[in-house]
Chains A and B, each alone.
Chain A
Amino acid sequence: MLKTEELQINIGPQHPSTHGVFRLMATVDGETVVHLEPVFGYLHRNHEQLGEIWTYLQTITITDRLDYFNSMINEHGYCMTVEKLASIEVPERAEYIRVIMSELSRILNHAAAIGFWLQDMGSWGTTLMFGFRQREMIMDIFESVGGSRMMCNYMRFGGVARDLTPNLVEQINLFLEGFPQFIDDFERLMMENEILLARSRNVGVLPKELAAAYSVTGPVIRGSGIPYDIRRAEPYSIYDRFAFDIPVGSVGDVYDRFLVRMEEMRQSHRILRQAMEQLPQASGSYINQAYKAASKQQGLRLPAGEAYCRVESPKGELGYYIVSNGGNSAYRYGIRAPSLINLTALNDMCRGYTVADIVVILGSIDIVMGEVDR
């Protein structure tokens, strides 16, 4: 009998498959992972402190840079928190525009996340570009709507910065028409692929109880079989008006998370279809006219108090907490970042699997380091 010894391997921080500057300290016994410790903080940019120094309006620009794949949803959550604290009413039309942008962002994020995940698995280029083609179309919509492809800076307190013109509505409708074709093709291409099944089935299993105990959210907890979605658990904005289903997995493995993401894209498409239909009947303007001036200048002062608001980001539950003491910037500004909390379950997901599986499991959590480290 040969004497074996545990070995510690550092993966990252400069490793392409760790999705940013993220380090994994893996203790391995042969090829099997015994213990895994995520080390982060390499991308710390002092986000919360900046939010306490900058005015409320200026802080919208850095919420874009939290989870840079879905800036629209980050802005939505932040604006909702400020609106709750200042009791600003949002017109119906603005709410519709916000929901449309949020759901487009969700499709964008999932298309890219699945693409990256398949790329990590070794499906070089093709599938990533497949997802990116769709992402490009949505980023084009964001560019025409908000002025920038990724850092949109589109939402304002009491609505959105600029209205949806008929041209833009047409552009979004055109995208929605072509979308089912994309997802059908994607399913035919990948869903039953043997290599994918071999790499992802029964890998990185997170049992239901453990998922709830770690308070993971988003596709990770839904993949484990708990139908927890903020859009349904605590409907914000106008999500109670739309009919949509919450997909759940059964095993809680990597493949289930992939399936949940695929189905969520379909459901987002369903919400978008309903929202685009109802948009012309929506009353009000794209922004609360009483706050239009405040939304352009930096002078907005919130009454003293605190507020917490949460939205369903594609990664999970994204919460913003603001304490105001009456000034024009927050006294305390905190964020519940879904990527960070989902990442805490990584050790339990990876234990017992091989080193090659670590990358697949990490990809299936779908982390963005901008949000983890803030």
Chain B
Amino acid sequence: MFDLIKGLRTTAKYLFTKPVTISYPEVKRPVRERFRGKHELKRYADGKERCIGCSLCAAACPADAIYVEPAENNPQNPVGYGERYAAKYEINMIRCIYCGYCEDACPTNAIVLEHQYELSFYDRKAAVFTKEILLQPVDKGWGEPPPILQNLNRPPNPPAQMEL
């Protein structure tokens, strides 16, 4: 009997401490800096797309979630700085396991796993995120184009990696 009271003393002690829980939909817990959430396709500062349609992310993906269909850039009005760009870029968010290998494999830092984690869908078709959803809006530029890509005759090598 005494042992139960001993346990209850600990319970009583915790009765007056601040709760550690948060009520989620109203209060959102900020994620950490290295968190891997929804992907984003980045742009250069001038609005050009970073993705060069090389499909290295699709090759690195363990879950086979990425589909890339490249197309040749029009030299008069290029979409990106490479010879090619991704005409179609789809990620199946149900298949994706958020390992971050696409980010590691990307030679131009085009794909980055960002902090958005609220991903829910009404049907399976909506879970396939197309390029329109993934691509960063034009007004949010990000960084300078690497000099190696400004010379169009050379392939993007060595890979520029991001250190967090």
Q: Is this pair of chains taken from one and the same complex? A: yes
B35 within 8 A of A: yes
Assembled-state Cα–Cα distance A59/B99 (Å): 11
**In angstroms, how far is the closest chain A Cβ from the Cβ of B66?**
13
Complex contact B161–A296 (CB within 8 A): yes
Complex contact A193–B98 (CB within 8 A): no
Given A153-B99, A190-B7, A193-B3: A148 and B60 interface contact (C-beta under 8 Å):
no
Assembled-state Cα–Cα distance A238/B149 (Å): 44
**In angstroms, how far is the closest chain A Cβ from the Cβ of B113?**
8
Which residues of chain A come closer than 8 Å to B14, judged between CB atoms? Answer: 185
Complex contact B62–A185 (CB within 8 A): no
The 3 A-B pairs at the shortest CB distance, nearest first, are namely A58-B62, A144-B32, A192-B3
Contacts from A to B (Cβ < 8 Å): 54, 57-59, 61-62, 126, 133, 136, 140, 143-148, 151, 153, 162, 185, 188-190, 192-194, 296-298
Complex contact A147–B7 (CB within 8 A): no
Complex contact B4–A296 (CB within 8 A): no
Assembled-state Cα–Cα distance A57/B104 (Å): 12
B67 within 8 A of A: no
Interface residues on B, range: 20 to 34
Which residues of chain B come closer than 8 Å to A54, judged between CB atoms? Answer: 62
Complex contact B62–A148 (CB within 8 A): no
Assembled-state Cα–Cα distance A296/B1 (Å): 59
**In angstroms, how far is the closest chain A Cβ from the Cβ of B105?**
6
- The CB with the most chain A CB atoms within 10 A, among B3, B14, B113, is that of B3
B6 within 8 A of A: yes
Given A162-B164, A296-B161: A192 and B6 interface contact (C-beta under 8 Å):
yes
Which residues of chain A come closer than 8 Å to B18, judged between CB atoms? Answer: none
Q: Which residue of A144, A147, A185 contacts B100 across the interface (Cβ within 8 Å)?
A: A147
Assembled-state Cα–Cα distance A188/B9 (Å): 9
B33 within 8 A of A: yes
B119 within 8 A of A: no
9 contacts between A and B (CB under 8 A): A59-B62, A126-B11, A147-B32, A147-B34, A151-B98, A151-B99, A188-B6, A192-B3, A194-B4
Complex contact B59–A144 (CB within 8 A): no
Complex contact A62–B20 (CB within 8 A): no
Which residues of chain A come closer than 8 Å to B84, judged between CB atoms? Answer: none
Given A148-B36, A151-B98, A297-B105: A188 and B10 interface contact (C-beta under 8 Å):
yes
Chain A residue with minimal CB distance to B63? Answer: A61
Complex contact B100–A143 (CB within 8 A): no
B133 within 8 A of A: no
Which residues of chain B come closer than 8 Å to A140, judged between CB atoms? Answer: 32
Residues 10 to 65 of chain B near chain A (Cβ within 8 Å): 10-11, 13-14, 20, 31-36, 59-60, 62
B97 within 8 A of A: yes
Chain B residue with minimal CB distance to A187? Answer: B10
Q: Which residue of A58, A133, A144, A190 contacts B101 across the interface (Cβ within 8 Å)?
A: A58
Assembled-state Cα–Cα distance A140/B20 (Å): 13
Complex contact B59–A189 (CB within 8 A): no
Complex contact A62–B11 (CB within 8 A): no
Assembled-state Cα–Cα distance A59/B98 (Å): 14
**In angstroms, how far is the closest chain A Cβ from the Cβ of B29?**
9
Assembled-state Cα–Cα distance A147/B37 (Å): 9
Q: Which residue of B35, B62, B159, B163 contacts A143 across the interface (Cβ within 8 Å)?
A: B35
B86-97 interface bits toward A, Cβ cutoff 8 Å, 1 = contact, 0 = none: 000000000001
Assembled-state Cα–Cα distance A297/B33 (Å): 23
Assembled-state Cα–Cα distance A62/B11 (Å): 40
- The CB with the most chain A CB atoms within 10 A, among B1, B32, B101, is that of B32
Which residues of chain A come closer than 8 Å to B34, judged between CB atoms? Answer: 143-147, 162
**In angstroms, how far is the closest chain B Cβ from the Cβ of A4?**
37
Complex contact B3–A61 (CB within 8 A): no
Q: Which residue of B4, B31, B60, B62 contacts A62 across the interface (Cβ within 8 Å)?
A: B62
Complex contact A298–B7 (CB within 8 A): no
Assembled-state Cα–Cα distance A151/B35 (Å): 11
Given A58-B62, A146-B34: A296 and B105 interface contact (C-beta under 8 Å):
yes
